[in-house]
Structure 1
Amino acid sequence: MDAKVKPAPNSPEARDIAYHMHPSVDLKRYEDEGGLIIEKGKGIYVFDNAGNKYIEGLAGLWSVAVGFDEERLADVAYQQMRKLPYYHNFNYKAVGPAVDLAEKLVEISPEHIKKVHFTSSGSEANDLIIKMIWYRSNALNKPEKKKIIGRKRAYHGVTIAAGSVTGLAPNHTSFDLPLDRMIHTETPDYPRDHLEGETEEQFSARMAQALEDLILAEGPETIAAMFGEPVMGAGGVIVPPKGYWDGIQAVLKKYDILLVADEVICGFGRTGKMFACETYGIKADVMTTSKQLSSSYMPLSAILMTEEFYRPIAEESHRLGVFGHGFTASGHPVATAVGLENVKIIEERDLVGNAARLEAPFLARLKKLEAHEAALWSRGVGLIGAIELKPGEKPGLIGPKAQAHLLKQGVICRAIGDALCFCPPLIITEEQINDMFDAVERALDGLVAELAEEA
């Protein structure tokens, strides 16, 4: 929306400004300028309320695998609404779709995953995992083993506990976060942070040593778990360098520290495997999933866990008489019915294979952008990637400028710092990938022209 154009009284834009408090924005700026109202979707495209068409280059929020108009999901939601619109899973009750989806998730997950618990968002799931980790430590008579390791620039949600494991300053500042049980190790950003002459393997070894140094400084007996996204998403699409996850897992195993793999963005095909843990050889004790689990058609997340993680929690609940936790919407019948149908579509249409097949042309177009005078380097895996732009005098200003130019070219992406990040729906075709990156090239040309005028 043009900041210079005042919306007409009683228009959707004016009512949005007047009544709607938005997440993840400068709220005062939003009061002055407003935003873009998206009205409908079709395939990889969304349309605003003026009829303008956009390639949704971030799949909404890294999440819409099957596109924005999948009738099978709408039909399943409607039929479940008519049959049983809501029931809970408390007090020894269950609903059929939650049972079916739990069974399906165990079937398609790495073989050591045996149990599933449902929540409604990645933030909720990670928050609950932290509670479960603490509960489990108490069950094992290790009350001192409560600290959680996150990584700088990692994103694990915005609730108080999950937001504390998140390693992004805007999610901490003025919220009185992080909690003091949360500590952070280094970001595995090889292109930005490697030493001169340092190979990826040497950099990864240094990251593993930094983790071990942190553990020893804090006391291994005090640390319960580490959270890690296989590929860091909201931190700017940070792809792990060679040897990184092998080294990290070896350190965690040495000190008996659990690994929680946050697959909220990566899960269900994004890296060319069903789960990114398979891509990088990660054997996690717990996996967090959401987003592409239901293509975000319904709020849904699932915690996938091993028997070894689950069993002490079960025994403690028996000792106490109850597992004293629950959300009203956990395992919601409509959400889990939609999630199950979404997973079936991903399998039937081989969308995981589509991500694997299109990885080469997707990454090739990202690589080509490195030659542009506005760009530095690219990175990615499967159908997630980013192009790092040359920063201006103040870091973080060029990315939003480029994002605005890209919107004018009919593509929605996300600027994170001075990087443009892409994560299109898994149904995208090679032709559509080329359309998207043709627009990116035009947008970067426009950015260069704008910066020249400002100089």
Structure 2
Amino acid sequence: MTVQPNSIEARDIAYHLHSYTNARKHEEIGPIVIESGKGVHVTDTDGKTYIEAMAGLWSVAVGFGEKRLAEAAARQMEKLAFYHTFTHKSHGPAIELAEKLVAMAPVPMSKAYFTNSGSEANDTMIKLVRYRANALGQPQKKKIISRIKGYHGVTWASASLTGLPNNHRAFDLPMEGILHTSCPHYWREGRDGESEEDFATRCAQDLDALIQAEGPETIAAFIGEPVMGAGGVIVPPKTYWEKIQAVLKKYDILLVADEVICGFGRTGNMFGCETFGIQPDIMTVSKALSSSYLPISALLINETVYAPVADQSSEIGTFGHGVTAAGHPVAAAVALENLKIIEEKDLLGNVRALAPHFQESLRTLEDHPLVGEVRGVGLIAAIELVTDKPQKLSLQPPGTMGAKAFGLVQKNGVILRAIGDALAVCPPLIVEKEHIDTIVETTRRSLDELQAELG
């Protein structure tokens, strides 16, 4: 793309530092500026329309341009544009949303606590876990175990939980007290002749060994996404969560389910915990909570977590944590309307109806010379790209092939996301069969172009 002087693209280059972007490369090529969205499509300032097959950032469940959400925001803005939840204050939307989320939870939960992003929710979780340990007279029991390739945010604390090297490099992360155990990617990490169940057993043994090495009395919690999202859409092997939970139970370690991507229908159930039989003590949710129309997130905590925290706040005189916009009335009102839309339009039913076609259609790409694996569940998947299928090798440096394929697919009218050398697919929950067919056809055509380019 040639950036014209004084264009909106040139102004972006001049003044805007972007997330997850090579800043120097951005100076050269500039942005694609998205101007509008409707349903599963977005349109840029040049008038080109794309299927947004990543639902924005895993998040626009009800699609773009949903008037009911705009109207809900306007109504609440006129009634009460802002109020906080500090010092015994509250407001209707926050109360209703807390009640709704506790009722929706797949396991008994006691309270909802609001923040503004998945990162903030997981950052707050770390503080809660430490606060609770002090309340219980267990000051040594504060370490948290995450997983290699897990993704839990980008604040100083939540980025430490994230198990991706580029989220740590040059940031002096991870912080002390955060540990990482095995990535449960069977296709990549499984040994020759090892079944999925045996691989799951080995992952659980790795976790047990790490706990033993650190000292069980020092481990407070384990955090995991039901399906790992930004680490490459890694679906857990059979029996994985059953075996992981058995280890945690043995050592009295809290289980935190990061439902930021999986929550509200993505995997074919309202929560990924239901899909994989996970019984968490804490859940973090965001993204599809409001379809990302406005920033909002929440932690759901059970009574085992809440009671000591409440007791400690009574002893100190306050729970000394909070952010100004937590439970913002406009964001909460939009989230409530968004959840109504998901329920009234039976988007969970749409996921269940279309998931088989979505997964089967994508898996037809496995016959392509450049595809090593297609993996997924519900309406989330990834296409792993290789140049050598038997050896599971790709172009060097890592990520080169993913970036090339992503660029070609986008040029051809579909927005996916390159995660290393995998292409992630995560369309809005309102997606239709014809959209899925276009996504798959466009991806195949783009991979054919990439194969021709590579010779």
Q: TM-score range by the shorter chain?
A: over 0.9
Q: Secondary structure at the match of 1:132?
A: helix
Could you tell me how far 1:394 is from its partner in structure 2?
3.0
C-alpha distance in 2, partners of 1:410/1:121?
29
**Residue 389 (str. 1) matches residue 392 (str. 2):** no
C-alpha distance in 1, partners of 2:64/2:260?
19
C-alpha distance in 2, partners of 1:86/1:171?
33
1:265 alignment partner in structure 2: 261
1:357 alignment partner in structure 2: 353
1:430 alignment partner in structure 2: 433
1:155 alignment partner in structure 2: 151
Could you tell me how far 1:243 is from its partner in structure 2?
0.3
**Residue 320 (str. 1) matches residue 323 (str. 2):** no
> Kindly tell me: are residues 134 and 67 of structure 1, through their superposed partners in 2, closer, same or farther at Cα, counting changes over 3 Å?
same
Superposed, which structure 2 residues align to 1:139-288 within 5 Å?
139-288=135-284
**Residue 294 (str. 1) matches residue 300 (str. 2):** no
1:58-114 per-residue CA deviation (whole Å, 9 max, x = no partner) reads 000000000011000000000100000000011100010000111111111124122
Structure 2 gap segments, 5+ residues each: 387-393
Could you tell me how far 1:402 is from its partner in structure 2?
0.3
Could you tell me how far 1:265 is from its partner in structure 2?
0.2
**Residue 411 (str. 1) matches residue 407 (str. 2):** no
**Residue 68 (str. 1) matches residue 71 (str. 2):** no
C-alpha distance in 2, partners of 1:375/1:166?
27
1:305 alignment partner in structure 2: 301
**Which one is further off, 103-112 or 88-97?**
103-112
Task: Answer whether contact 2:204 2:244 (CA < 8 A) is retained.
Answer: yes
Superposed, which structure 2 residues align to 1:12-23 within 5 Å?
12-23=8-19
Q: Secondary structure at the match of 2:36?
A: strand
C-alpha distance in 2, partners of 1:258/1:264?
18
1:27 alignment partner in structure 2: 23
**Residue 440 (str. 1) matches residue 436 (str. 2):** no
> Kindly tell me: are residues 318 and 264 of structure 1, through their superposed partners in 2, closer, same or farther at Cα, counting changes over 3 Å?
same
Find the partner of 1:40 among 19, 23, 36: 36
C-alpha distance in 2, partners of 1:306/1:360?
34
2:423 alignment partner in structure 1: 420
Find the partner of 2:49 among 38, 53, 74: 53
User: What is the percent sequence identity of the aligned residues?
Assistant: 59
Could you tell me how far 1:56 is from its partner in structure 2?
0.4
Find the partner of 2:77 among 77, 81, 89: 81
C-alpha distance in 1, partners of 2:152/2:396?
30
1:350-385 per-residue CA deviation (whole Å, 9 max, x = no partner) reads 111111111100001111000011111110000000
Task: Answer whether contact 2:136 2:308 (CA < 8 A) is retained.
Answer: yes
1:114-164 per-residue CA deviation (whole Å, 9 max, x = no partner) reads 210110000000000000000000000000001110100110000011110
Q: Secondary structure at the match of 1:370?
A: helix
Task: Answer whether contact 2:226 2:236 (CA < 8 A) is retained.
Answer: yes
2:133 alignment partner in structure 1: 137
Q: Secondary structure at the match of 1:113?
A: coil
Could you tell me how far 1:393 is from its partner in structure 2?
3.7
Q: State the AA in 2 paired with 1:438.
A: E
Q: Which TM-score applies when normalising by structure 1?
A: 0.98
Q: State the AA in 2 paired with 1:170.
A: N
Q: State the AA in 2 paired with 1:376.
A: G
Q: State the AA in 1 paired with 2:384.
A: E
**Residue 9 (str. 1) matches residue 5 (str. 2):** yes
Find the partner of 1:398 among 396, 401, 409: 401
**Residue 343 (str. 1) matches residue 339 (str. 2):** yes
Could you tell me how far 1:395 is from its partner in structure 2?
2.4
Could you tell me how far 1:235 is from its partner in structure 2?
0.2
Task: Answer whether contact 2:107 2:279 (CA < 8 A) is retained.
Answer: no
1:380 alignment partner in structure 2: 376
Could you tell me how far 1:215 is from its partner in structure 2?
0.3
Q: State the AA in 1 paired with 2:323.
A: F
Could you tell me how far 1:211 is from its partner in structure 2?
0.2
C-alpha distance in 2, partners of 1:377/1:91?
52
1:29-55 per-residue CA deviation (whole Å, 9 max, x = no partner) reads 111221110000000000000010000
Q: Secondary structure at the match of 1:86?
A: coil
C-alpha distance in 1, partners of 2:184/2:283?
20
> Kindly tell me: are residues 14 and 364 of structure 1, through their superposed partners in 2, closer, same or farther at Cα, counting changes over 3 Å?
same
**Which one is further off, 443-452 or 206-215?**
443-452
Structure 1 gap segments, 5+ residues each: none
